[in-house]
Chain A
Amino acid sequence: MTDHIILVSQDEAGRAAEWRARRSTKTYRGRASFTLMLSALTCLVVAASAQHIGSYAVSQGVSPVAASLPGMIAALVAALVLVMAASAFLKSLAAGRQEDVHTARLLGDEASTRSWKALAWTGALLIVTAGAWFMVVNDAAVSRTFFDLVLIRDSAGKVLRAFGTNILIFSVSAVLILVWALVIALARTLPGAAGRPLRVLAIAYGDLFRGLPAIITIYLIGFGLPLTNLPFLSDLSSTSYAIIALTLTYGAYTSEIYRAGIEGVHHSQVAAARSLGLSHVKTMRYVVVPLAVRNIIPPLMNNCISLQKDTALVAIIGAIDAFNQAKIIAANNFNLSAVTTVAILFIAVTIPQARIVDKLSERDRRRMRAGG
């Protein structure tokens, strides 16, 4: 007997009986009742807030429909959540009464799921309500400072025109960065002792410009180069200095992304290419870089979004971009709503890209799980 790895007990009947005796049903009564109470409370809070904030908005001259619609929607949602919580509670009660264990488990499971859903909605409603209060307290100080609709409307044209500068800086530097960073990454991955001097230089460049805050690079280049009296370099426009500075800064970051991609290509691919007689350069050109680029599209796009936002930093060297224009308007009106316009512009431009990055990353994860 001792030569078996494990000797299974002969007492099968006892083990089975023990298993069956443990059968029980969870009804999630506690969670369901807590959710019911909390959602009832939330319903009251939301309704009261909607009433108060709505009437305040009407007193400030907002049309009654526009003032009451958000509140009504919020109250309606709160009521639906209350219904959901109630039904979860009822399911939980039914699960306790049910004789058949399988039906009872089904009911218990539904009670649990619905309770969690209702709780999540309750949380969201409370946060939104708190946000609404933040906007109207202190005689709507927050709304007036950041969201003066009249000022936003009047300044939109000017700000939008200045935003063209941001787009110009972004598009030119994005192209330059993609090329420049690849050059740096290839220099960093040069093989052998002969490649060392360029490798070291590429590493030094990367360390320097990743360490320097972008705003300082922009400042140094934007104000420094004009003082050097160098031909050509000293009399460029501030937009050009911004492009140079952003390319230098983001080139360092992006080269690291490229390098991660290049080093992430499996060495068996390199072995296959070299074994066919392809040189290092041709292996890079036809196999490694194409594969690397495919793998780094999501982080590259993230960098791209980041670059778009950082075009606002060029305001420091006096380029009239959207942010600088908005600051001028804000100073003249003693109100930040024009800057809000800039914020809205940046968000409107970057959100679709962020969604694309999410989609690409998700697709990559799926492909990886599929073993591709």
Chain B
Amino acid sequence: MALVEIDHVTKRYDHLEVISDFSLDIEEHEVICLIGPSGCGKSTLLRCVNRLEEISSGEIRIHGDRITGPGVDLDRLRRDIGIVFQGYNLFPHMTVLENTILAPTKVLGMSRREAEEKAMAFLERIALTHKANDYPDRLSGGQQQRVAIVRALMMEPMLLLLDEITSALDPELVSEVLDIVRDLAAGGMTMILATHEMGFAREVADRICFLQAGKVYEQGPPADILGNPQGERTQAFLRSLRKAGRL
């Protein structure tokens, strides 16, 4: 059984249909990249999976258990699904360390000492122990995003949603963030990435989905989608990326 089953999901804002009749299964340990023009519904879809957005119809299941509709313990659900945002969203009034231990201590009831040890181990992996007691505004974008990833990993999620996590970064800072994602993929983390980094998607993804107007327009292994796209829209999208020097 797939880890995540997105089953005929539709999401409407008033009359605007952002996601329409969307279906996708994600297997355990799979890395899926969602690509497509802006406004195609990538981010909205991610936010529906941890229910930061409510879907209008359809169903999403995790391990076969329905997580949409009323009566689902959202706080419990979100403990197990990590999300990293485009704009980092670190808490500006907390230090790096405080950002990372907030949820483990206040949600999981972990002791402060235990949480700090765990956080410091993570920070060591991303070479940021020296920033542990700094506030986020003292960090570069790349450093902030790495901390945001650690903050999500502290909850030991079974699924990680990455929402265009390098889009707000200066080009030279992108690789330090992608290195961590690469490491996570190698470690078997199940991930759904909305991304514009085609080179990275080709390298790390098991499957690429090209989204168009809230639907999966074309999907397959990276080599097929990026190297030999079948759909007309996919071809046009990749052509414009190539012209802009982004592929």
Contacts and interface: CB of A to CB of B under 8 A. Distances in A.
Given A286-B106, A372-B137, A277 B52 contact: no
A291 to B, nearest CB: 6
A294 B135 CA distance: 15
Contacts of A275: 50, 52, 78, 81-83
Given A276-B107, A276-B151, A372-B137, 17 more contacts: A268-B87, A269-B89, A271-B47, A271-B89, A272-B85, A272-B90, A274-B75, A275-B78, A275-B81, A275-B82, A276-B78, A276-B79, A277-B155, A278-B102, A282-B107, A286-B102, A286-B106
Interface in B25-80: 47, 50, 52, 74-76, 78-79
A276 B75 CA distance: 8
Contacts of B200: none
A339 B155 CA distance: 64
A291 B93 contact: yes
A286 B92 CA distance: 12
A285 to B, nearest CB: 8
A278 B75 contact: yes
4 shortest A-B CB distances, which residue pairs? A272-B89, A276-B103, A277-B79, A277-B78
Contacts, number: 57
B22 interface: no
Nearest to B50: A275
B137 A278 contact: no
Contacts of B81: 275
B134 to A, nearest CB: 14
A278 B52 contact: no
B131 to A, nearest CB: 17
Contacts of A272: 85, 89-91
Nearest to A370: B137
A278 B93 contact: no
B231 to A, nearest CB: 32
Interface string A261-281: 000000011011111111100
Interface residues of A, number: 18
Nearest to A280: B75
A77 interface: no
Nearest to A282: B106
A275 B227 CA distance: 36
B13 to A, nearest CB: 15
Which of A274, A275, A282 is the most central at the interface, judged by chain B CB atoms within 10 Å of its CB? Answer: A275
B195 to A, nearest CB: 19
Contacts of A269: 89, 91
B160 to A, nearest CB: 11
Contacts of B76: 277
A275 B49 CA distance: 11
Given A282-B106, A291-B93, A274 B52 contact: yes
Nearest to B108: A277
A275 B85 CA distance: 10
